[in-house]
Amino acid sequence: MLAFTRARKRSASALDAPSTPVKAQRSMAPIVDNAEFHDGLAAVSPPVTPIKGTPVRVDPVIKVRVMRSCAFCARLSEASGRIARAIVVLWEAFLGWTSAWTDVGVRDRTQSVYRYIDKKTYLDWGLTSDWLVEGPRKRRSIGGEGSETPEAKSAEASPIKKAKTETPGEEENAASEGYGEMTEGSIERLLQLLQELSTADLDSPLPLRTPVKGQPAWASNGLDLCEESSFVDIGSGYGKVVFHAALSAKVSKSLGIEYVPSRATKALEVQADLLDGSRAFMTEDSVELMSPPRCVLEQGDATTYGAFKFSHIYMYDRVFNEKTIELLAKQLNKSKFKVMVTYQRVELWKRLGLRNVAHVHSFTMRTTGGQNFKAYILVKET
């Protein structure tokens, strides 16, 4: 009987208990899907005031919204950065294209001038032309010491020759008449380097110069080849480098001095042909840059020229003998040039009398015959 009474009490207490736990009766906010979130249709649950000392529980809907908002902002920022970078790249590409287009225009004209000169002079080109200057010379040939070259023998046999020949005791002629040409690409690289010489990465530092008040230090040295510069090519041949400096660097004056009369005459003929207006690659700007008195070709002996009143001097002196270099050194010592490009080492120049110069850079140049030679940039010290 006692057991039956206890069982009934347990059954009554079970009927009076709530059907669900208290914690499960707490009202929870409905979870919204992505469509409701983006359409702004989700209901926001009322804020709950936290009890002091208990952690704050963030509403799940607000938490999801915050997380999605942060992700959206991150994606927006990343997209903005990509768009900005793309704009910068396109702008730089546009500037590079316009600059390259301008450079290609100048380069095309220069290459056209080189091709035209080659076409006009290919029959006149030669390593030596001594018989056109002072008669045949007894030069050392490959055949052996003291043997004459075939050209000298044929010139002696010819009735048409110069009366003046070398005699014992006569001073060796000052001029060296060997000939060689650098490729258009090598000369272009050289001129580009000369235009940025003050800021270029050189083998040796540039000599210090006193800066001009009110100007940056690099602007006072006058080493960069620019429109205010003047350029002279000693041993200019058919004038390719002279024309190149006029077209590419647009110097204020470009002069070529050639010793051999036939080459100097041919160079003047080429210049006249290029300036007659009958060639499409010669634009008005090109004609102006290559016309006298801005671009001049002369025939003469550079060793007796006197002081060179030019800021930049170029010479393919690899074919010059030491007597020629010694006489040129005397002229250069009287000159107030700033930069000289030579194919002889500075030690040789100094040994033969050149003073107050410093070697700053050397690089490889290529001839039209496929040979590579070192060119040396010397700077005048003050």
With cut-offs at 50, 70 and 90, classify the pLDDT of residue 231. Answer: very high
Q: Is 298's pLDDT higher than 70? A: yes
With cut-offs at 50, 70 and 90, classify the pLDDT of residue 337. Answer: very high
Q: What is the pLDDT of residues 33-67, one digit of tens each?
A: 444 444 444 454 555 565 566 555 556 666 666 67
pTM: 0.62
> Does 186 or 150 have the greater pLDDT score?
186
Q: What is the pLDDT of residues 261-273, one digit of tens each?
A: 999 999 999 999 9
With cut-offs at 50, 70 and 90, classify the pLDDT of residue 123. Answer: low
Q: What is the pLDDT of residues 151-207, one digit of tens each?
A: 344 434 433 333 333 333 334 444 455 567 899 999 999 999 999 999 999 999 888
Dihedrals phi, psi of 168, to nearest 5 degrees: -60, 135
**Average pLDDT of span 69-91:** 77
379 DSSP β-pair partners: 339, 358
Instruction: Kindly report the average pLDDT of the chain as a whole number.
Output: 75
With cut-offs at 50, 70 and 90, classify the pLDDT of residue 73. Answer: confident
Q: Is 72's pLDDT higher than 60? A: yes
pLDDT for position 112:
92
Q: Of 310, 327, 191, nearest to 259 (Cα)? A: 327
Amino acid at 266: K
**Average pLDDT of span 220-227:** 84
Listed in sequence order, the residues at least 6 apart from 281 whose beta carbon sits closer than 8 Å to its beta carbon are: 108, 109, 112, 113
Q: What is the pLDDT of residues 279-288, one digit of tens each?
A: 889 999 999 9
pLDDT for position 6:
60
Q: Tell me how far apart the alpha carbons of residues 82 and 80 are, in angstroms, rounded to a whole number.
A: 5
- Contact call for residues 231 and 225 (beta carbons, < 8 A): yes
pLDDT for position 218:
46
Q: Tell me how far apart the alpha carbons of residues 331 and 327 are, in angstroms, rounded to a whole number.
A: 7
Least confident stretch, 118-127, 333-342, 372-381: 118-127
